Amino acid sequence: MDITLAHSPDADDAFMFYALAAGRVDTGPFRIRHVLGDIQSLNEAAREGCHEVTAVSFHAYADARVRERYALLSVGASVGDGYGPIVVSRRPLPPEGLAGATVLVPGTLTTAYLALRLFRRDVTTRTVPFDRIPEAVAAGAAEAGLLIHEGQLTYGDLRLHPVVDLGAWWRDRTGGPLPLGGNAVRRDLGRERAARIAAALGASVRYALAHRDEALDHALRHGRGLDRARGDRFVGMYVNDWTLDLGDRGRSAVQRLFDEGSDAGLLADRVTAEFW
C-alpha cells in the first residue's frame, strides 16, 4: 500500500525520518513516499486531508477541518522542553517593548504563532517564510521576528537580539514543555493501519538515535548553514525521548496548550487532543 509521509525538509525531520528514506527499517506492507514542504504549507494541506501521514503543528490540529480528517500519533513529536520558538529584534528590546510592535511570523497556523499570541495579544503580525525572517528583521523590515527551526540557533550570526524564548516562558507559566508539532494519520486508514505506521515511524526515530552520526550526515544536507556542532545540538533539541513517545506528560501538555488557547479566545472552540 502506498503511503505519503509529508514533513518538512528541515534537519530535525530529515534526521528522524532518515531510516525510512534510506530503507534502514521495515515498513511492512507500506511503500512510503516522502513529500516535503514547509510547515505552514503542510498545515494548510492537512485541512484538505492531502496526505495519509503528515507533520502538523499542534495549533493547526485545533482546526476542526484537520481534526475531522486526522488523529494524532504519540510518535514523532517536536517538543520544546524549556526552550522553543524565539522572538528576536534588531536592537535590544525587553519583552514589554513588543507592545504595539510588528512581529514577522512563519505562519498563523504554527504553534509558534499561538504561543506568541498567548504571550502578548497586543502585537501586529505579518507572515513571512520562516527562513527569510532573520534577514528581514536584520534589514529593518519589522521591529521583531518569530524564529523557528535552525533560526533559534543562528540568529546571533546576524547580530540579532533575543527578546523572549517562548518555550522558556511557557515552562515558567505551566511547569511543562511546549509541544510544537507532531505527526497525524488520516482517519480513513483505520486504527490498525495507523498503529503499524506509528511502529514504522518509531523504528525510524530509534534507528536515528542509535546511529546518530549516520543520520546526522543526512540531516545536515538540510541544515541551511548549520555546522555539525550546531546541527547536532538542533537535532538533539527536537529529536529525543519526547519524539519516541509523548507519553502521558506530553499528551497532557498538548491538551494544556489547547485549553490555554481556548480560554484566551484564540481557538474557535474547545479542542480535545485525540491520539491513536
Residue with cell 479566545: 265
> Grid coordinates in use for 84?
522553543
Cβ-Cβ contacts under 8 Å for 224 (sequence gap 6 or more) = 10, 11, 131, 149, 150
Are 104 and 146 in contact, with CB atoms under 8 Å apart?
Answer: yes
- Catalytic one of 7, 51, 59, 149: 149
Q: Please indicate whether residue 51 is annotated as part of the active site.
A: no
Q: How far is CA 142 from the centre of its chain?
A: 24
Strand order in the sheet with 161-165: 124-127, 102-105, 144-147, 86-89, 161-165
Q: How far apart are CA 210 and CA 225, in angstroms?
A: 25
Are 113 and 125 in contact, with CB atoms under 8 Å apart?
Answer: yes
Active site (catalytic) residues: 149
